Amino acid sequence: MSAKPLAHAAPASHGALEKGQLMFSRYRLECLLGRGGMGIVWLARDEKLDRQIALKFLPDVLFLDAASRDELKRETRRSLDLTHPNIVRIHDFVEDEQSAAISMEYIDGPCLSQLRVEKGNRCFEARELVGWVADLCRALDYAHHSAGFVHRDLKPANLMVTSRGVLKVADFGIACGLHNTAARISAWNSTGGTLGYMSPQQLEGELAAVTDDVYSVGAALYELLTSKPPFHSGDISLQIRTTVADSMTERRRRLGIAGAPIPEEWEATVAACLAKHPRDRPASVREVARRLGVERLDLSPAESEAPEQLTFVERKPRGSPPPAPPPASGRRVFSGVSWPLIAGGVALVVGTAFALEFSRGLASRLSRADSVSAVAVAERESASAASEPPALPPSEPAAELPPEQPTEIPEVRLQPPLAAAEAMSDRALLLESARLTLRTNPVGLPFALFSGAAEVVDAAPVHQGETPADLENLAPGKYRLVVGATPWPVHIAVVDVKEPSTEFVHEFPQGTVRVESAPTAAEIFVGDDLVGKAPLDIPLPPGAHIITAEYKDRTSRPRNITVVAGEKDKLSFDFRTSNATTTKGVRRRPKKKEETALTKIGRSIQNFFGGDKTKKR
């Protein structure tokens, strides 16, 4: 920063920023993403690294205060240590004599708050949130126990979803720092965060704690499942301190929201998160994940990318001995027992109990199955061996076996909950391949299917195409499905393929427009897309649409129509009267390059969410 006094430099107004402007000798502004009380966010291109980033400009009141800039600079430096695939990455704090900004990772999708508004009931069903909640819990567990961070401003608007369907937590340490710094220099009564999602302890200005984020997770889930936060009108701060929120089922009933019943475990877990006293809440997000039933989801990143993130870390009370070191790369841990240890124990017992050839065949099968499958296979082999024991080779007489060595497989059940296989049935565990059937209404929508572990932005889809589709030879497990294309909204879901045949069906809310023309066979366009020739029925999502018709060398004037779900409208184009058509500006359709399903979905996300960019980062 220049030594020239800031008083001599007139700070640029945020309104003076323009597209194409070069900021901080490095970032070329491309478009405005959002505006709020804590500054504005621009999409920019880093000309040194040739990549898109988001620039969050400080409000003038903070920029002019040297202490505030220094405080936010320190907070940004701390945030550089947060490196997790489910957390928006902070790159740098940049400043000159006119402005200051925080550069961060650009997320090419909407936030959960925006996606919620697009739903028919303005809220999600619990099954639609499973994958994203697992992402959220994993990110928070890493931040709390590996990086020493508490967010303190968790809300649906800070939970971003990439075009690949991966959830990323935004504004870690930044939003709360901006609120607190603004409060300090303006006498504004704030303890950081957003009122509807703050715990009673945060309202009182107590030191940050993990249980503050646990409360915010409960408040965010409450809104996503009911369309409103637990307390949203009246004296909210008083209600947060003294009032117990209605159950989510009751809130839905009062708001007239129909849908699938909220699972009991979700109802109970959210209520526990919203407890007034921290001791009554789950002690960690690891516990929240366990109660919600998302702890077992195999959605963790590749071990080579972040081995310390493969498991949640249980929080220990103060004064307890330090936790054991993390497992070596290539190992997974569950309930304190490593998979290699379990596999080794099974191999030892089976190898001494049965003949060498039989145990070698069993070991070959165990090497291809996971640890849960190993127990199931071993039990079946034990039953077979009991009825027809194999003969020992001449080189290894039975007398050489240690007499005290156990010969029954049930004794190797080191982990009874593991053998229960709560997440899957034995049938699913032994599947080598499965089929997934995709159905949508309307049909013909592009889709892309990603492996549950493929969370990096440049991951390739496992399959892509148009619905309906039958996908054969899939490996059992979790998949992220992205389906939809303009004018239809993009729908993102986690599909659990654990049976030989799984079917996914999604009904998009829609109305119908009957379009007729005189003479018939006029080409009909919705926006810029040709949809067919009149007469025809066009299914469209609820909302405003522009429909035009073209007949020979004449093009109709655009017709605006608002589609209502479940209703049918009618449009007529008459090319026999001159006042209904124009011969100017006849639509010339350029030859389109063939697009993949993934390209269509990406274009759809850009078009569909481009109308309200205030929630993007």
Q: Which residues are catalytic?
A: 153
Compute the distance between CA of residue 46 and CA of residue 26 in angstroms, rounded to an integer.
Answer: 6
Edge-first strand order for the sheet with 22-23 is: 22-23, 27-36, 39-46, 51-57, 100-105, 90-95
Contacts of 521 (CB under 8 A, 6+ apart): 533, 534, 551
Cis peptide before 500 (omega within 30 of 0): no
| Beta strands in 131-288, from DSSP E residues, in sequence order | 159-161, 167-169
Compute the distance between CA of residue 588 and CA of residue 591 in angstroms, rounded to an integer.
Answer: 9
Compute the distance between CA of residue 272 and CA of residue 284 in angstroms, rounded to an integer.
Answer: 12
Instruction: Give CA angle at 217 (212, 218), nearest 5°.
Output: 100
Compute the distance between CA of residue 112 and CA of residue 197 in angstroms, rounded to an integer.
Answer: 15
Length, in residues, of the chain: 617
584-612 burial by CB neighbour count: b if 16+ within 10 A, else e? eeeeeeeeeeeeebbebbbebbeebbeee
**Strand, helix or coil at 157?**
helix
Fill in the DSSP letter of residue 342: H
Compute the distance between CA of residue 128 and CA of residue 123 in angstroms, rounded to an integer.
Answer: 10
Question: What six digits make up the tokens of 322?
Answer: 């330090």
- What amino acid occupies position 148? G
- What amino acid occupies position 132? W
